Amino acid sequence: MTDAPLTGFRILEVEGIGPGPFAAMMLADLGADVIVVHRPRSGPVAGLRERPVTDRGKRSIVLDLKNEADRKDFLKLVDGADGLIEGFRPGVMERLGLGPEACHAVNPRLVYGRMTGWGQTGPMAHQAGHDLNYISLAGALWSSATGDARPTASPTLVGDIGGGALYLVAGMLSGLLAAGRTGRGTVVDAAICDGAAHMQNLLQSIDGGVDDGPSAVENPLVGAHWSRTYCCADGRYMSVQCLEPKFYAQFLEILDLAADADFAERQFDASAWPRLSARLERLFAGKDSAYWTERFEGTDACVAPVLSPREAFLHPHNAARQTWHDTADGLQAAAAPRFDGLPSRTPAEIRDRGADTETIRSALAQGSGWPDTPEA
């Protein structure tokens, strides 16, 4: 295996923010030829990077999709594409004359990927929202609460990326496989709310993961003393999640608590979790994180230090796998997953907005349905 898995596949992306660009970046990381259609603008947009990491590995063309000539160029690209990704609210692409029906009239094999928060249908389909709102309504945020503490979640990971981008990628790949078999494209309706809800099926399979009460205090993955973070003497944190009894036993052994019946006999006794958590809080607070890291290193106690991305870049395990790369555009994580026979890929170049406009337009004017890459 010498080529990346998606080498030869062509993806057209309409500029957006969040999960759509992330999904297209992931497809580019896997070898797809991605052209992103950037909209014209006069200057930078507050809160957004001019050269976002999610544009790596993509070619860029600036098109005004409200302009008839630019729409024609867009449809020429559609004609040569295998897939399309857009992240507007329902109906926007249709009003531009570029919805699934118009695109399938040009290219029946096209896999048309739609990324939204609430989905293409339903009473909230046209409402605005963000990651926290989607996962709240999906039932995913609820499971992060601990007792009376407010529910919190890592920004974008559960909603935008987990329930959104990754489900869009799965839908696009499924559609591409089906199109190759049947010759017919499809429309992928990837809603963050749907994906976040679907991910809860794993929690629903865990004892204590289902509760109709007002909080998730009975969920062991967020309420137990063996599944949380602890602050150390230096203000840094250690993560603990020794779910299986054999790992929990090793955890207690390392902490010299194996003979303590309160710990040894009450791993799954929810009434004991607050008391045992408080005892562990005092224990971890007595030493700094370097001490605890060294003590648990190489064991199956399921304990690890909480690292920043820069610290993760320097960690021996990540360094050996080349998980992180320090690039001219800043720290970036490498493509994932990996494939046997292919090396870990250095993050691809991030092209300036519109850097390929002239070459792509020139190729389209000469009758090319999809412009070759410069290396081809």
Check residue 129 and give its pLDDT. 86
What pLDDT was estimated at residue 93? 97
**pLDDT at 115 exceeding the cut of 90:** yes
Give me the long-range contacts of 352-355 (CB less than 8 A, separation at least 24).
Answer: 352/51, 352/60, 353/38, 353/50, 353/60, 353/62, 354/38, 354/60, 354/61, 354/62, 355/59, 355/60
C-alpha distances in Å from residue 255, one per residue of 149, 270, 301? 27, 21, 10
Q: How confident is the model at residue 157 (pLDDT cuts 50, 70, 90)?
A: confident
Cα(186)–Cα(242) distance, integer angstroms: 43
Q: What is the pLDDT of residue 221?
A: 75
Residue 24 pLDDT: 96
Q: Could you tell me which of 352, 335, 349 has the C-alpha nearest to residue 50?
A: 352
Per the prediction, the chain carries an average pLDDT of 89
Look at residue 43 and tell me whether its pLDDT is greater than 90. Answer: no
Kind of pairing between the strands at 111-116 and 83-86: parallel
Token digits for 127? 């409402």
Contact indicator for 23, 115 with CB cutoff of 8 Å:
yes
Stretch among 95-99, 112-116, 147-151, 308-312 having the lowest mean pLDDT: 147-151
Query: Do the Cβ atoms of 77 and 357 come closer than 8 Å?
Result: no
> Which segment of 114-123, 157-166, 168-177, 199-208 scores lowest on mean pLDDT?
199-208
State how far the Cα of 176 lies from the Cα of 157, in Å rounded to an integer: 25
The closest of 190, 189, 186 to 177, measured between CA atoms, is 186
CB-CB contact of 352 with 65 (8 Å): no
Bridge partners for 61 per DSSP: 37
Q: Provide the residue type at 287 as one letter.
A: K
Q: How confident is the model at residue 87 (pLDDT cuts 50, 70, 90)?
A: very high
Measure the CA–CA gap between 322 and 261, rounded to whole angstroms.
Answer: 43
When pLDDT is cut at 50, 70 and 90, the band that residue 185 belongs to is very high
pLDDT value for 1: 39
pLDDT reading at 210 higher than 60:
no
Give all strands (DSSP E) within 63-124, no chain letters: 83-86, 111-116
User: Residue 13 is inside which H or E element, if any?
Assistant: strand 10-14
Structure token digits, residue 137: 């309504």
pLDDT recorded at residue 336: 87
pLDDT of residue 211: 52
Give the pLDDT score at 212.
53
Pick the range with the lowest mean pLDDT from 127-141, 321-335, 359-373: 127-141
* pLDDT tens, residue by residue, 46-66: 667 788 899 999 999 999 999
Rounded Cα gap, residues 343 and 325, in angstroms: 14
Least confident of 3-17, 112-126, 247-261, 339-353: 339-353
pLDDT of residue 128: 83
Tell me the sheet residues that pair with 239.
229, 304
Q: Which residues are catalytic?
A: 130, 160
**For the segment 263-294, what is each residue's pLDDT rounded down to a tens digit?**
999 999 989 999 999 999 999 999 999 999 99
Q: Which of residues 117 and 149 earns the better pLDDT score?
A: 117
* pLDDT at 145 (0 to 100): 63
Rounded to whole angstroms, what are the CA distances from 271 to 217, 226, 325? 10, 14, 45
State residue 237's pLDDT score: 92
- Residues 131-148 as b/e (b if ≥16 CB within 10 A, e otherwise) read bbbbbbbbebbbbbbbee
Structural domains present in the chain: 10-199+346-366 (3.40.50.10540), 227-321 (3.30.1540.10)
pLDDT(142) > 80: no
Kindly report, residue by residue over 308-350, the tens digit of the pLDDT. Answer: 899 999 999 998 888 999 999 999 998 888 887 887 778 999 9
* pLDDT attached to residue 202: 76
**Which of these, 310, 340, 305, lies nearest to 323 by C-alpha position?**
310
149 pLDDT more than 90: no
Tokens of 182: 């049947």
* Greater model confidence, 47 or 20: 20
Share of the chain above pLDDT 70, in %: 91
Selection from 195, 168, 174, 194 nearest residue 186 by Cα: 174
Secondary structure of residue 228 in the 3-state scheme? strand
Q: How far apart are CA 196 and CA 71, in angstroms?
A: 34
Give the H/E segment covering residue 94: helix 92-95
- Average pLDDT (97-124) is 95
Do 343 and 2 form a contact (C-beta atoms < 8 A)? Answer: no
Of 190, 188, 173, give the one whose Cα is nearest residue 31: 173
Which three-class secondary structure state does DSSP give residue 72? helix
Task: Report the alpha-carbon distance of residue 18 to residue 12 in Å, rounded.
Answer: 16
Neighbours of 10 (CB within 10 A): 19
